[in-house]
Amino acid sequence: MSKRFKLLKLALIGVRKNYEVNFKDGLNYISGPTSTGKTSILEMINYSLGASSHKDYIEIGQSCKSVELEVMVNDEKFKIIRKLFQFNEPVAIFTWNEKVNTYEFLDKLDVDSPSNEKSLSAFLLEKLDLSNIKVANQAFSFRDVYKFSYLRQTEIDNENIMGEKHWATSIKRKPTFEIIFNIYDELLAELKTSLRMKQEELRDLQIKLDGIHEFLASTEIINFETYLEKKELINNTIHEKQKQLHEIKSKGKTDDKLTLSLQNKIVSLKSDIQKIEKSISDQNEYLNKLTLLRNQYISEKDKIDFIIDGYHALEKFDFINCPSCLQPIENDKPQLCGLCGKEKANADIDEVMELKLQKQRLAKKLKELKSFNITEVANLETLIKQSDNYKTDLYSLEKELLHLHKNYINPFIEQMEQLNYEIGEDNRILRELDNNYKILLELERFKKLIDIKDKAISDLRQRINQTENISINKELLIESLSKQFNDILKAFKFPKLENAYIDGKTYLPYVRERLYRELGSLAGVTLITMAYYLAIAVEARSEKYNHLGFIVIDSPRKNLGAKADDELFKDEDIFNSIIKFFISMDEKYQNDIQLIVVNNGYPTFLDRKHVIKEFDGDGTKDLPYGLIDDIQYS
């Protein structure tokens, strides 16, 4: 199942205000002069998705503290929050909760290799059903597949489209291309390995969840409703005691009932402890009886086993003398038992069958008794826990009583100290409740992690089944991809070049039978590079492939138009043809491909509905200065 990765919203969280960019399906055009923050939008997307760092943008550094990127991966919405200028800090991931219509914290992830299961790359790959894959003995990374979606300004004409010139970057280029188009020979085996690893991760999460459940059970806080009920009860108690304290201070009158309340609580607790200790003693005695009964069942079962074994052993012997009186046994009928005179076969079978039935009945009773014994042991533990709680409360009350008697001055001070103490104790319980509330939140977070992991396992099973059933002809694929590439170059009105295709071995673009970087024209390389990325995106839009489904292009005008070095590319029609192709992509593939384009200006024929952000650099055209629009750009 294909996992389309769609950008929803980018926000720079500022100290004065936030700076937001909302994305839509299809074509998203961002326009403005130099140094207005256009490229920084793309840089911040890149940084949010795991780039090791970002440039030292002065305006952003003065105004912003973090970046937030909202994305849709298939049918799930996530928010990624990363601190600016703090490159080693973890990334926070939030997941969208449809019920309350807001994002909720999910996890903190490292910006690290996908071999670290707590990394952003590993998380994103899991959502794409591509986690735990190795290529060229290295961990496959989200950044590897993202490379096919991000055409930055510095790479649009560098004659090294996918880093193929350098071994370190080229070693993963071809396998990534093959993974995108499901022609990677080892993909199925890697996916099955990933499934086993995810099942182990799910078991680990479940163990942690059970531990949190067990702890909360020990605090008697099972859910949010219980927490709220207890909190309300304690708050009401504190309020009542504060009223009593106020009355004593304002009226100077003691309450005899209040003075005796501490002693009454102690007496009541001691009585409760005596009762529960008696219950514990009775429960222990009851468990001892159950143990004796259990041992008796086991003994009876062992006896039956011994007798059945004896039957089989005695069948081997033919007795001449009686084992009891040692007198000769006269029996001339070999089919009869030499001791009792019954037919051997029937007597033995009937006896053994009866014994086996008795054994089955005993085994059933023993099983029921074991189950019952577990319940009664749990009841005993509950009683012991309740007794311990009573004793803790008793110790606390007796300690306070000793303090009051020791420092006794008059009944007013005694009662005020007592109430202050009780209010303090209630506040302590309230703090413990709030701590337990945090654990409840952690419980809910683990539940979400388990749900996500469970869904990832289900999606991965589907992916494995789909991969097993899909047969892709590599030659036909390359042929179709080459046609896309050639058609896009024609649409770009690429001058004096034809016969463009993608090589089936290197997966690199060729034009006029020559490798793209041998053309000697940076403007030509710019057009070829864009056509190459776009052709892959268009060809891989099918659900059976693994392209992210979006492509970012920074400065398609580079080396084209009036400033072009090559006279062939000075014609403005070439740039206009590129924009027209972008518009045609929006018309054809709006639901399949999200195209984000950043450029200095745009033709008049571009419909403004495609322009999601526009800056003027000076604030004279009723437009923002730039991305950080409350600072004037120089």
- What is the structure's pLDDT at 1? 38
Among 307, 334, 306, 302, CA closest to 318: 334
Can you say how many angstroms the Cα of residue 180 is from the centroid of all Cα atoms in its chain?
A: 24
Confidence of residue 551 (pLDDT cuts 50, 70, 90): very high
- What is the structure's pLDDT at 292? 87
Percent pLDDT > 90 in the chain is 31
- Tokens read off for 115: 């071999």
Q: CA torsion angle for 92, 97, 102, 107 (degrees, to 10)?
A: -10
SS (HEC) of 487-498 = HHHHHCCCCCCC
Mean pLDDT score of the chain, rounded to an integer? Answer: 82
- What is the structure's pLDDT at 2? 46
pLDDT in tens, 378-395: 888 888 888 888 888 777
Residues 531, 489: Cα–Cα separation, whole Å: 6
Handedness of CA 496, 502, 507, 513 (dihedral sign): negative
Among 396, 418, 397, CA closest to 407: 418
Among 255, 624, 200, CA closest to 412: 255
Q: Name the strands in the sheet holding 76-83, side by side, starting at the edge strand that comes first in the sequence.
A: 19-22, 5-14, 64-73, 76-83, 91-97, 102-109
Over 70: is that where the pLDDT of 528 sits? Answer: yes
92 three-state secondary structure: strand
- Tokens read off for 428: 């302590």
Mean pLDDT of the region 428-445: 78
Residues 238, 419: Cα–Cα separation, whole Å: 9
Residues 526, 44: Cα–Cα separation, whole Å: 23
Residues 165, 445: Cα–Cα separation, whole Å: 45
Handedness of CA 422, 424, 428, 431 (dihedral sign): positive
Looking at the chain, the number of H-run helices and the number of E-run strands are 14, 16
Confidence of residue 159 (pLDDT cuts 50, 70, 90): confident
CATH superfamily of 5-183+472-614: P-loop containing nucleotide triphosphate hydrolases (3.40.50.300)
453 three-state secondary structure: helix
Residues 420, 423: Cα–Cα separation, whole Å: 5
Rg, the chain, Cα only: 39
User: Phi and psi at residue 495, in whole multiples of 5°?
Assistant: -75, 135
Residues 578, 573: Cα–Cα separation, whole Å: 9
Predicted structure pTM score: 0.68
Over 80: is that where the pLDDT of 95 sits? Answer: yes
What is residue 6's DSSP assignment?
A: E
pLDDT in tens, 471-497: 889 999 999 999 999 999 999 887 666
Question: Within 10 A of 240 (CB to CB), how many other CB atoms are there?
Answer: 11
Q: CA torsion angle for 559, 564, 569, 575 (degrees, to 10)?
A: 60
- What is the structure's pLDDT at 327? 66
Highest averaged pLDDT of the listed ranges 101-105, 198-202, 237-241, 273-277? 101-105
Mean pLDDT of the region 611-619: 89
CB distance 549 to 4 below 8 Å: yes
- What is the structure's pLDDT at 615? 93
Domains in the chain: boundaries: 5-183+472-614, 254-406
Over 60: is that where the pLDDT of 633 sits? Answer: no
Cα within 13 Å of Cα(292), Cβ side: 6
- What residues are paired with 550 via a beta bridge? 594
